[in-house]
Amino acid sequence: MTQNKIDSNWWRGAVIYQVYPRSFMDMNGDGIGDLPGIEHKLKHIASLGADAVWISPFFKSPMKDFGYDISDYREVDPIFGHIDDFKRILKRAHQLNLKVIIDEVWSHTSDQHLWFHESRHSRDNAKHDWYVWADPKPDGTPPNNWLSYFGGPAWTWDARREQYYLHHFLSSQPSLNLWCPAVQHEIFEVAKYWLDMGVDGFRLDVIHSYQHDPELRDNPVRGPNDPVPSDMPLSNPMSYQRRVHSMCTPYVISYTEKLRAFISQWDNRCLLGEAGGDDSEAVAASYVQTDKRLHMAYSFGLLGSRISHHDVVSTVQRVEDKLGDGWLCWATSNHDTVRAVSRMHAPEHLQYEASLLIMALGLSLRGSYCMYQGEELGLPQAKLSFEDLRDPYDISLYPNHAGRDGARTPLPWDSKKPHGGFSFGQEPWIKFWDSHRDLAVSVQTSDPHSTLNHYRKFIQFRKDTPTLWDGDIHLHKTSDPIVAWTRSKEDHEILCVFNMSQDVSNWAVSVDGDYSALNGISHGSAFDLQHNKVYFKPYGYIFLERKRNKS
């Protein structure tokens, strides 16, 4: 951030780059991205102007959910390298002025974790209550109607205890019982291990699932007037329920305050929560208010939608209605969703323009911003056949949902090398999509008009403009396809206007003021100062600024 930004608030307005290790860079030639690969490419992330890097799980795991099923929170999985490799990432990142955020999965573990082996052994062992166990109903069926994200009941029978255990995801991902004081203590010890090593913060996976209703009451049916979930497709049967008892309970809020108090013992650290649920904007807002909870959270409003006029306007308005004194971290893509360019439904010849609009829109919202690897290249979703899928979630919901694997294909570094320069050895763990080759870093670096160089320029503009990374926001009432908001700080205003359509459009500037266009930042647009009107090409956007008199 700018030099006068207080280091303890480095996260406020930060641009965070997400690395999915398996698909980022493979240095040992086994076809799987690794920690040395991340270290090797940190300079690329720094060159974008990012403030931090978030690394998805690299801990020891049987990889049934590709690292989000952890069997040891303190060990690096051998496919990614060694703990010394991670320490080198920390050192090199800090040399490049990059903060390091690691992905902590504290809602559940792998069923191969030693904690679960002990817990399932009997009902009276030392860890008998470290996971969520429940007796069956009198007819032997699960204790309630809770469903798993991966389809089917959220309960699996264990013959040793003659009880069911809870899992919100795969049956091999049993839910930790975060009501248990011993579990809470052990989670804090895990956090201490990494904080003492020097990590700058944690991204908290599915924090909305941390604490369930202790009475295990059934979830009610989702009614026609209830929010449509944005963290899953409607083809998932879990979408039939309002998840008010299985997750998203008010108890999680008090737990976030415990986490914040604990991490505050270390200087300049932050907590970023992933907040899903039936109304993920409301959930995310509740986790970041009062300056005693998480530093920031992100919702699924711009992740699970088309990124249309309606989706953007309704999501931003819901956030601003509920956020209060909290702080959001926006994201338009990640490892769990269809890539943003493809969710724009732009024709192929306009995908470049759509990628720039997504960049300008996401980076001009009030909040921090998380960009997913490849977003800076404008990568569209890879189109994989069923035989190419690796993700159990995509496989279980095929063909109505195949969004995760298509966003996890190897990053193209060099258009002239095998597998796009991702790996110099074996075939990648998941198919490299050859259509990404023309968007490789090697191609875009030398092109001043490339998506990559637009990102570099825009992020620098954001850094140099406190109004964008820390100013207020006012959403204007507009008609489809135009989205507009004003960012303001002290005597400076920036009017941000976007054409969300693949058609030409125009907008009469509906706010008073002597505006001038920010040339070199706007794209595919023209401002008619005499008539106070903006003309847009497909997916064009414009930034108009003015100085105002302080009242």
Three-state secondary structure call for residue 472: strand
Nearest to 17 by CA among 31, 6, 43: 43
Burial track 56-75 (b if 16+ CB lie within 10 A, e otherwise): bbbbbbebbbbbbbbbbbee
Three-state secondary structure call for residue 400: coil
Start-to-end CA span in the chain (Å): 29
Beta strand 533-547 pairing with 516-517? antiparallel
Which ranges constitute the DSSP H helices of 108-197? 114-119, 181-197
Give every CB contact of residue 526 below 8 A, 6+ residues apart in sequence. 534, 535
Q: What is the dihedral of CA 375, 378, 384, 390, to 10 degrees?
A: -10
Please indicate whether residue 274 is annotated as part of the active site. Answer: yes
- CA 268, 331, 487: angle at the middle one, nearest 5? 80
Cα 353 to Cα 346: distance, rounded to the nearest angstrom: 9
Cα 267 to Cα 79: distance, rounded to the nearest angstrom: 32
User: Of these residues, 274, 311, 320, 405, which one is catalytic?
Assistant: 274
Residue 4 amino acid letter: N
User: Of these residues, 34, 103, 104, 205, which one is catalytic?
Assistant: 205
CA count, 13 A, side-chain hemisphere, 212: 25
Beta strand 163-166 pairing with 155-158? antiparallel
Structure tokens at 366: 């009030």
Burial track 162-195 (b if 16+ CB lie within 10 A, e otherwise): ebbbbbbbbbbbbbbbbebeebbebbbebbeebb
**What are the start-end ranges of the E strands in 387-435?**
none
Please indicate whether residue 311 is annotated as part of the active site. Answer: no
Beta strand 329-331 pairing with 368-372? parallel
Cα 457 to Cα 108: distance, rounded to the nearest angstrom: 40
Asked whether the beta carbons of 1 and 13 are under 8 A apart, the reply is yes
Cα 487 to Cα 403: distance, rounded to the nearest angstrom: 33
Catalytic residues: 205, 274
